[in-house]
């Protein structure tokens, strides 16, 4: 049995000082996820990206979280700011 919350880290190719972080939690039968970009060393939040609610499984919450993080990073790249 998994103990919640669960943290997953995602490497960011364009920035060696930051990480993507998705925290998956469970409330009753539903799962939610918090998506952030954090400082690699201190793990302090650099940018809060989004929250996801009411997913049916931990895996689904994690998949949607990764998609939202990717969309956020692609939008930043399109704006031409050269990364996060």
Count structural domains, the chain. Answer: 1
pLDDT at position 81 is 57
Residue 1 inside a domain? The answer is no
Task: Specify if 30 maps to a domain.
Answer: yes
Q: Is residue 23 part of a domain?
A: yes
Domain containing 62 equals: 6-79
Residue pLDDT, tens place only, 7-40 = 999 999 889 999 999 999 999 999 999 999 999 9
Query: Positive or negative, the Cα torsion across 54, 31, 24, 71?
Result: negative
Compute the residue count for the chain. 84
Q: Where are the alpha helices (DSSP H) in the chain?
A: 58-79
């Amino acid at each position: 049995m998994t103990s919640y919350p669960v943290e997953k880290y995602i490497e960011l190719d364009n920035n060696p000082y930051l990480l993507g972080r998705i925290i998956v939690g469970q409330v009753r039968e539903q799962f939610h996820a918090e998506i952030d970009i954090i400082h690699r060393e201190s793990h302090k939040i650099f940018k809060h990206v989004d929250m996801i609610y009411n997913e049916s499984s931990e895996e689904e919450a994690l998949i949607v979280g990764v998609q939202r993080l990717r969309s956020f990073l692609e939008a930043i790249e399109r704006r031409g700011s050269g990364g996060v």
